[in-house]
Amino acid sequence: MAARGAIRSVKNYAKGYSDVQVKVREATSNDPWGPSGSLMNEIAQMTYNQHDFVEIMEMLDKRMNDKGKNWRHVFKALTVLDYCLHTGSENVVIYAKENAYIVKTLKEFQHIDEDGKDVGANVRQKAKDITALLLDETRLKEERSKRTAMRDRMANGRYT
């Protein structure tokens, strides 16, 4: 695992990725654990900066279109996208709707790992959930305002 992380940081350096992109790569890596809430929150907050937003979406797009062997890239990119749809800037919503077919076509993502386990099912389910959310304007608005309200409450230290 440490070696994997080391290779990733060499790649980050060699390919000249920005700090923002390095964060997205970290959150959507091939490590067998999910992206941390604090990292996703950091990324979602960065989508409010137009320049960072473009870099984040570029990297997520790359990860979502990765091959079967890298199914964790795809799965985690969907996880981060889902998080950003809830708490990121409105631009994320607009971008995701415009490019909905990227997520939608992942509903048939296939990959069986070396142990014969159907790991593609995770991706398919996530893709279904996000597609349904993008189609349901009312629910998306509700969930976004719920998250904002929750964050405000936490920030003010008032719990109801």
Residues with Cβ within 8 Å of 25's Cβ and at least 6 positions away in sequence, in order, are: 8, 12, 17, 59, 63
Should residue 99 be labelled a site residue for other proteins when binding is judged by CB under 8 A? yes
Which neighbouring-strand residues pair with 118? 112
Tell me which stretch binds other proteins (CB under 8 A): 27-35, 45-53, 97-105, 139-147.
Answer: 97-105
Find the shortest distance in angstroms from Cβ 91 to other proteins.
Answer: 10
Residue 34 near other proteins by CB under 8 A: no
What's the min distance (Å) between Cβ of 136 and other proteins? 13
Measuring CA to CA, how many Å separate 100 from each of 81, 92, 143? 12, 11, 19
The dihedral region occupied by 36, where left means phi > 0, alpha psi between -120 and 50, and beta the remainder, is beta
> By C-beta, is 34 or 68 nearer to other proteins?
68
Residue 3 Cβ vs other proteins, minimum distance, rounded to whole Å: 28
How far apart CA 156 and CA 151 sit, in angstroms, is: 9
Kindly list the residues in this chain that would bind other proteins in the complex (CB under 8 A): 57-58, 61-62, 65, 67-68, 95, 98-99, 101-102, 104-106, 108-110, 112, 118, 124
